[in-house]
Structure 1
Amino acid sequence: MDPEAPRRRTWRHWNALLHRDLGYLAVGLTLVYAISGLAVNHMADWNPTYRKQVEVRQVAPFDPALAEAELVALAQVRLGLPAPQASHQPNAESLHLLYPGGRSAKVDLPSGRTVVEGLAPRPVLYAFNRLHLNAPKGLWTWIADAYAVVLAFLALSGLLVLRGRNGFLGRGKWFVAAGAAVPLLYWLLVGMRKG
């Protein structure tokens, strides 16, 4: 055999090559989905997309005897806020102004002390979570679908990268079985009961 002749590439060579290159390509999206997934999994503990902003403002006291509409107009001017989506007076000494997106202003009429609350997007997590939950739709749906296909390929091609004792037919089959057993057992033991 001529040592300078090109070697014939086997399917294992092409599998390893594709597995390596698609793996590199998938790193960025994998990190987006992993970080967002961790954040969204703990929504009961915090808001992973927005952070709460609270600002206390002090303005001149209001006359509680004024009608609600007059109080709202006066509060807009004094606080420099736009017209609220809704307002209400829970009692004679308070005025609440409600805005879209969870923003609000709670005015203590006798003192003029106002607490303005709102939500601000978390710089990186907002973008990651929007992508993870497919909020953009359209082209992003196709990108996410292609990524899912690449992940499936990586999982299956990874089974065939190594041969022998450390390959799939050696110790690999036990890891695959354990990985498949985790979601299956969880669903059978816990998931089905939760509906």
Structure 2
Amino acid sequence: MKITNRSLHRDLAYFYVGLIIAFSFSGIILNHRQDWYPMNYTYENKPFTLEIPSEEKQLTKGYITEKTKDVGKYDGHRVRDGKIRVYFKNNIIFDADATTGKGSIEYKRKVPIIGHSMYLHKSTNNFWIWYSDIFGVAMLVIAITGVLIPLGKKGFKGRGWKLAVAGMLFPLLFLFLFA
């Protein structure tokens, strides 16, 4: 089997089409995560009051774990700007006023498929990092072989180089003007 520029481009694109689509969707969503974040949307919200001890230093992991054992498995907490936030396993969060203890429990979950594909974008698993690096190299090969496929006035020597330069200007302008 003869490996040509066109066959290499085509076969890599076929192999990675699923990952290209998943990364495209999750990348767009990550760009707009302040508007909609499918990694954790609230599907239920219940009022809850946590009995607050007389001194803030008594608000310890042990104290909170004891007082919230019916809510879920404790995963961490913080007190900041007069608010307390308690994190539980399984995407449960309690937010309340740190002086009164009145607040609500939010039960969260991922949006199916889209929320899960975002995990691929954010994963720090060693296997996934290596696979993503290989994917990145494959994307470079796909881009380079794609540039080299067409010939003639619509090829890289014709108008292709102008489009490539224009396409490179946008990220460079962004880096210089906004980063």
Q: TM-score, normalised by structure 1?
A: 0.65
> Letter of the aligned partner of 1:24 in structure 2?
Y
Assess, with a 3 A threshold, how the Cα gap between structure 1 residues 21 and 41 changes in structure 2: closer, same or farther: same
Among 20, 27, 31, the residue aligned to 2:17: 27
Identity %, equivalent residues: 26
Distance 2:40 2:171 in 1: 30
Higher strand share: 2
Deviations along 1:4-50, one digit per CA (max 9) or x if unpaired, are xxxxx6xxx71111111111112111111111001111122232311
Question: Within the alignment, does 1:178 sit opposite 2:162 as a pair?
Answer: no
For 1:76 and 1:170, locate their aligned partners in 2 and report how far apart those are by CA, in whole Å: 68
CA RMSD of aligned residues (A): 3.8
Structure 1 residue 133, shift from structure 2 partner: 1.6
What is aligned with 2:146?
158
CA-to-partner distance for each residue in 1:115-162, whole Å, 9 max, x for gaps?
432222222233211111223x12111110111011000111111101
Gaps of 5+ in 1: 1-8, 59-63, 89-95, 107-113
Runs of 4+ aligned structure 1 residues displaced above 3 Å come to 55-58, 80-86, 96-99
Equivalenced residues, count: 160
Distance 2:72 2:171 in 1: 50
Structure 2 residue ranges without an equivalent (≥5): 55-63, 97-102
C-alpha separation between the residues in 1 aligned to 2:8 and 2:73?
A: 58
Classify 1:52/1:162 alpha carbon distance in 2 versus 1 (closer, same or farther; 3 Å). Answer: same
CA separation of 1:184 and 1:57: change in aligned 2, threshold 3 A:
closer
Q: Normalised by the size of structure 2, how large is the TM-score? A: 0.70
Of structures 1 and 2, the larger Rg is shown by 1
